[in-house]
Structures are given as C-alpha cells and as structure tokens.
Amino acid sequence: MAGEQIGLSGELIGRASAVAIKAHKSSSGKPYICEKSRSSSSEVIFGFTGTWDLGDWFTHKPFGEAKINLNLFPSLRTIGSNEAATVNQAFLQRFEAILTKTSLKNEVEKAAAEKQIVFTGHSSGAATAIFATLWFLESRNHIPPRCITFGSPLVGDKILTHAMNREHWSQYFTHFIMRYDIVPRISLTSLPSIEGELQPILHYYNPKSPFYASDSVGRTEEASLFVLKVMRNISLLTSRLACKFMGCTNFLLENVTNFIELSPYKPFGTYVFCTGNGKFVTVKNPDAILQILFYCLQLGSESEWDEVAQRSLKEHLIYEYELLKSVEVPSVAYLEHLVDLPLSTENMGESENFTISGALNDLGLSERAILCLRAAGELEKQKARNQIKINGNKTKIRDVLNMLERYQASCEVRKIGYYDAFKMQKHTEDFQNNIRRLELAGIWDEIIEMLKRNELPDEFEGQKEWIEIGTRYRRLVEPLDIANYYRHLKNEDTGSYMGKGRPSRYIYIQKWREHVEKMEAEPVPESCFWAEVEELCISTCNTQFSGDVRERVYRLEINVSLWARNELLGKDVFLNESSFVQWWKRLPIQHRLVSCIRDLFHE
C-alpha cells in the first residue's frame, strides 16, 4: 500500500485524517479530541481543532513571528550560538493555552504508558499538533510520537528545521499537502500584503461560519487576488533562495529584498504531495520543498487565474476524500537523489526514472523548477562533502593531542606543571607545542566558521565522536590559550579571559557537550580553571580577602574539589611549585584551615 511505502500504514493515515477532519468540524468547543476506541489498535490519536480569526494566524506584522519558549522547548535552538528558533507566535500561544488550561498533559501521559501517541490536525489545527509533538519529544521518556498533518501552515524558521534534524526528530513528522492547497503557503507571505483578503478566506475554511466552502467567497475576485498575492510573495522568496544556493547573484533581486521582508518560515519533516490523481510524491529536503510549493502551483495565463485560484482554495477541504482514494494505490515517488533528477523524459529505460519523471510531471514542475531542485540537492551534497573534509582532520587532531599529552607528562616529571611551563616558554618544546596549539586552533576555527555559515549537515553538532574529540581538545588545549593570554598581558587591554578573551571555538564545544549530556551550563568549566586562578591572583593581590573575592574563592575551591575527584585536573596542578598552589598558600590561614581542598595539598 502507498501508506506503508511512506512509512505509515494506510490504516493509520486514514484514521489520522478522519480524526483531523472530525476535530476540524467539531462543534464541542473543546480544542482537541482523542480517538482511543479501538482496543486492538497500538496508537492513540489526538486531533486538534483549528481557529479562524485573523489574530489566530498572525499576532502582528509582518509574519507574526516570535522566539520560541526555551523553557518549554529547550532543544529548539542552535547549540553553539544559543539562538532560539523563531516560530509563529499565534500558533505557539494556542498550544500553550491548551497545555495549561486543559487536561491534555495528563491524557497524553496516561495514554503514552500503554500505546504510541499520534498527534494530528488539519489546517491551523495541524500547527497545534506540531507543537504538541515537539513538546512530547522534549520529554524523551516515552516511545517517540508520530505527527501526521493535513494542509498545515508552516510554523518555524531555519533554526527550528536545523534543531529538528540535529535531534533526529524530523523522521516523526509527515505532512500531507494537496498540490494546489494555498494554506501551506500562507505563512510564506507577509500579513500587510494579504490583510484585506485573508479574513474572508479564513471564514471560507471555518465550519462554523455561514461562508464555509461557499462559492460566494471562493469564486470572488478577492479570492483570486489573494492567491495571486501569496504566490507573488513566494516567487520572490524562492527566487532569492535559488540564487543563493546556485551561487549566483541577482542584484535586482537583492535590491528588492532590501525593501521587502521575506518570510522566515521553513519546512521540516517528510512532505507528501498529493497530486490529485491518486499518487503521492515525498520530499524531505526543506529547500526543495519550498521550491515545489512555488512551482507546483503556477497560475499560467491570466485566463486561468480564477480557475486555479478556486482550485487552490477548494483543495484544502478534500484531504479525507483524496487520501481514502489514494492510500490503497501503490504509487509513491521519492524525490531523494535531487542532483540526479532528469530534465527530460526522453530516452529513459529504467522503471525508477519513469516513476520520478511521472512524479515531476504530475506536480507540473518545469525545467526551471527541476534545476532549482537539483541545486537544493547539490547544496545538501556539498554539506556532506564538507563533513567528509573535516572528518579527515580527526586523525591529525588526535595525533597532536597525543603529543600535547606527552608534553604534559614531561612537565609533571620536571615538577613544573603543564600550565606554568607553557606560560614561561623557557624551552624549545614549549615553543613547539605553541605551534601545535595554533595549528589545532586553525582547524577548529574553520569548523566553527563552517557551522556559522550553515555549511555542515544539521546533525553535526550532535555527533558523539566530534563531541568527544572536542571535549578532549578543550580540556587539553584551552589551558594553553589561557597561559598565552596572561603571558602577554592581554587582560590589561581586553579584560579577563572569561569576559572577552575566550575564543568561540571553546564556547561552542562546551555547549555541544552540555546539550548532549543534559548538563547545566557551567559559567566556569574545568578547562577554564586557570583563567579563574589568574583573575583571583590579581584580585587577592589588589584587594582584601573579603566580599565578592571570598565568594569567588569558595566557588573555585568547590569546583576544584569536584574536578580533582573526577580526575579532570592533572596532578601537576597540585605540585608544590604550581602557581595555583603558591597562590592558595598565600590565602589567609583561617581560610585554608577549613577549606574543602586543604587535603589536596602537601604542606
């Protein structure tokens, strides 16, 4: 069956669409319904109702966007730069209100103890289902849920898409889209451009409105104008994106976008385009999905505008009918290897090519559209090639770290200490290891810059092997950076190392580990131990041992006790000639006698 080829059973797709449409048409006033009547079923389905006032779709101009609530959705951010995802504020607020004012949380948790949870919805109810799924995924205590939506508007930006891929959550989302349905495209246009026409369209989709599915709305000139305005906005957005990932610059387009704001929203998950002839076309690449949303709804000649506009409105209301017709038909095309998409259907001998070619034709994609899809695929492949390139540095990084560990051991034998020996730079090997420090900095800075430019796969920040290498690098090399910083008295010009001197490569690497291991953020991590010692040496020299200085010393000692117990500080730190030991011994004796680390020293 087609449903099973998508990764969902035809039965589940049918049940989800029935629940979604039932919730859409519900007159109970409850914001969701729960379908759990089948004892033999392995799923419990929650379907969310939609909302139809303009303020339920756009809270403000131009796109109704806001930063997501990281207390509720802590994973939906970039890890290194800690930038929260941008989402549709109205849809987010709708879900938050349901979560706090209804029994949804208790019902979901009770059902999840026995069965898999499926969240579903149609139209703006689908947007609520998406946030419900994200909320449930954040708990990580149950079998992962499924989210199946029908005609869903877009809800979040590229950071949301990035986080979904990094957490491997995109696989749980399947979005069914009718080829001409205008609703999934509404978020890609600004409110000011469609404000006058949008509310009547929302009445058209509102089952409680006298204008529901009414020809008096669907066949009006305003409806055609609404569709035309939406598509013009999408044209500008997708053209700019296509130019960007094709590597060309359209100066006219760039000048226009300086005056016209573009939508921040971006797809994620698996999109299943329903072509209207009983066939499905599935796509996962977010950039390709955006291009398809534009190119598969072309208005053609002016004489066709009204007909296409009417169809784009009506197709939002026929999902259940279309899916009942389609799920039993084994006809699914996967647009996966985008760079290999055929520009022509001539001279094809393989059945797979016929399937792909037929899918492209069924979506009405032009040669220009296919070129844009191929470019989106090439961008994805380039990210994969970049990953392979930096993976080639793993051996080199490990080899240099091994050399630095041998250097650290030799310093301990000399009774000097790793940090102090490097800071004094009295021997040839100190200089050689400074070269190695700079060599590794160059490698890691390149990786961080590629991350900032979005040139690596979204999954990179969560890859265990890179987190392990990065943590080892941070612990071994950051003390050398700190030594170099204070050796050259950069603190006198720039300020403290932790304040303004710490390179972003260490911040990123630290946050990767904290995120993956679900740790609280550490203001002073173990790799910055020596930076805090340097600042306290300065503070206790220039001021009396009281107030804030005393509190900082207490905090450092607690951390040192913990780090020493977990073997995160080398034994050389506690050598008698270590600058840390020499500083600590200058502290007031009354303090040292009761210090939690007094037993770590040999008087």
Q: Which residues are part of the catalytic machinery?
A: 123, 181, 316
| Long-range residue pairs from 377-384, CB within 8 A, at least 24 positions apart, any chain | 377/285, 377/288, 377/337, 377/338, 377/339, 377/340, 377/341, 378/245, 378/338, 378/339, 379/245, 379/287, 380/285, 380/287, 380/338, 381/339, 382/455, 383/455, 383/456, 383/457, 384/457
**What tokens appear for 90 in the block?**
């109205």
Q: What are phi and psi of 281, to 5 degrees?
A: -125, 120
Give the rounded distance of the alpha carbon of 437 from its chain centre.
32
What is the amino acid identity at position 281?
Answer: V
Q: Which residue has the tokens 């998406």?
A: 130
Expressed in angstroms, the distance from the first to the final Cα of the chain is 78
- Give the relative orientation of helices 221-246 and 367-391 as an angle to the nearest 10 degrees: 40
Cα–Cα distance between 504 and 449 in angstroms, integer? Answer: 10
Cα–Cα distance between 45 and 20 in angstroms, integer? Answer: 9
What is the enclosing helix (H) or strand (E) of 557? helix 547-565
**What tokens appear for 495 in the block?**
């300020």
Tell me the β-bridge partners of 146: 118
Give the rounded distance of the alpha carbon of 56 from its chain centre.
24
**270-274 vs 173-178, strand pairing mode:** parallel
Cα–Cα distance between 424 and 433 in angstroms, integer? Answer: 13
Half-sphere exposure of residue 469, counting CA atoms within 13 Å on the CB side?
A: 22
Give me the helices (H) in 182-285, please: 183-186, 191-205, 215-218, 221-246, 251-257
Report whether 313 contacts 223 (CB < 8 A).
yes
- If we measure between CA atoms, which residue out of 158, 186, 364 comes closest to residue 245? 158
Tell me the β-bridge partners of 280: 274, 332
Cα–Cα distance between 389 and 532 in angstroms, integer? Answer: 36
Cα–Cα distance between 145 and 44 in angstroms, integer? Answer: 10
What is the amino acid identity at position 44?
Answer: V
